[in-house]
Chain A
């Protein structure tokens, strides 16, 4: 099993640009999660999906952030327009229904200049 796959691994962009982060969950997993990690705020849950449907997006910081899951094997997190304060590591995770174990990807290191 390849695990949760995120791309890109690193992203450097300028303020105002659109950023799209991608995630491929583990096959057969029913839940997908997007987290953001910074030194100041730690790991924050942004949004999660169950069977491709967004369940809780209360952690999405602003309207500049949006997430989609068009099918069971792909999800995107988009920031438009990006700002320097969005600089962080963004993690995607997935898990099976009725199994508490979360599997995380390697993350995307985002730097907004």
Chain B
């Protein structure tokens, strides 16, 4: 089981770039890395997914080094509305429960 480790919380200010790193030392060859965002009183929302190197979409970038033992979610120029909990998940989606287990996440607080 590819256990993930994330910081419990992070603080930032509006306009700054925020990088949240997730450690997953036991990642398997076929595992993907997926990040979700959860706002208060809402369900988690898919942000981005990657396997290696770099992935970018309209919301964030995901950086994955060659050894894949960690990954970094990058949020450019955060705003107050980016205050949320961010979860890192590691698994192949066809591995059942293992792929669907959320850790404790990182609580990001963005200040004005």
Residues of A within 8 A of B (CB): 4, 33, 35, 42-43, 45, 48, 55-56, 58-59, 91, 93, 98-107
Contact = CB atoms under 8 A, between A and B. Distances in A.
Nearest to A101: B46
B100 A48 contact: yes
From DSSP, what is the main secondary structure of chain B's interface residues? mixed
Contacts, number: 48
A45 B99 CA distance: 11
Interface residues of B, number: 21
A104 B45 contact: yes
A42 B103 contact: yes
Interface string B81-108: 0000001000001001101111111000
Interface string B22-55: 0000000000101010000111111001000000
Nearest to A105: B43
B97 A106 contact: no
